[in-house]
Structure 1
């Protein structure tokens, strides 16, 4: 763990008993006062990485049961199966009310393995998103006024969005449900398998490009980590094809500086109410 990076400090877990970890949810990773789902995914991912015999998340499925708030929390893990090349584990994060009532906030089931031991054969029709150069893209600091949904978390991220997908920031959403951009951590920490769990849920929601604003809470998110990312900035593309019944899906692809597809995800989220 790189203790010089706030991401690593804020995803640290302390072993209390076998499979049980104490942690603190940092207020710096909040959106509308609620802790970001990608940060939570990385936090539970770190706990599972310490509890399971294999080092890297390969697939992680999370159910967000209640909003998580800054403050103390406990993570309880369980090894479901430990095989030769793949381990399966589950983890839940709990927080406590002032009266001591315990609430489960998020539950995860995950498969872990060794990314460095995977075969190098790649056969894909997927292509990296076509993005303008970093310097021709825009982030929160470039906006004439705070962007809709701006939050504490934006100070920790280096996000530059494709101008073609940020019309919503000036009241002109495209209606296509697309967000694309460059992504990194503001302190310069290079990406790794754990930080990719943050990356898949760190860009503004596609609901903004559909003309909706406000909190878009995740109901379920499944992330696949495909390989260890190369150092340097990541490119992220997120799309929504269907909003119905007050819910939308978001499909994310994350590409590294070596033009490799390093992570994919799909989530189901509640759509904000039409403004």
Structure 2
């Protein structure tokens, strides 16, 4: 579960060891010559720990426990937690679908990319706790970036604009997904459902929500609450925001005289 805000940073490990792990240039077999332990098995177990218990629970010892082996045996394959985290990131980034043919034009291609990233964050909420300003230079991350860039290649944008468009779309998804995950975890963190929270606070809102003093907030808040069934809808925020992001990119493409 995504219980506490623990921030990890990608790229903290030894670069030579991380790259060797990411690209599997120095895969080791067990000393008995049996495939009972491998980098892939260790990484999958680590992802399972992060998915089920949160990133704060991830440690070499916890992964070893899940595999039923001694902690020190992991170091035969993985130098440490920083390198392990890099490979975890690269592994889950390999999950996004990348069809060669997408009906429609660049908007449809970007929409698919946004939805794939949205689904990825919801499957692995711990991704939102990893700062990736120093990117993981693994095969899956590289392939994902290449695929996403090809969605807007040849439509009139410069190379820098292509990179910026992908950063805009994925950044929007990252922020919206964070709100969705936090909303989904609110009940477990506070011990109250949304309905219980509103019921507890409603008597006080009547005292402070002066429509004559805050007329716009009162009007819009009521309209949004009735339309969305609450104060916040992650799904609406994603759908509405994605359309506006694509509309903004459309302006840039039109200005460049681009094509679909």
Q: Could you say which TM-score interval applies, normalised by the shorter chain?
A: under 0.3
- Report the structure number with the largest CA radius of gyration: 2
Q: Which one has more relative contact order, counting CA pairs under 8 Å at least 6 apart?
A: 2
Give the TM-score taking structure 1 as reference length.
Answer: 0.26
Give the TM-score taking structure 2 as reference length.
Answer: 0.27
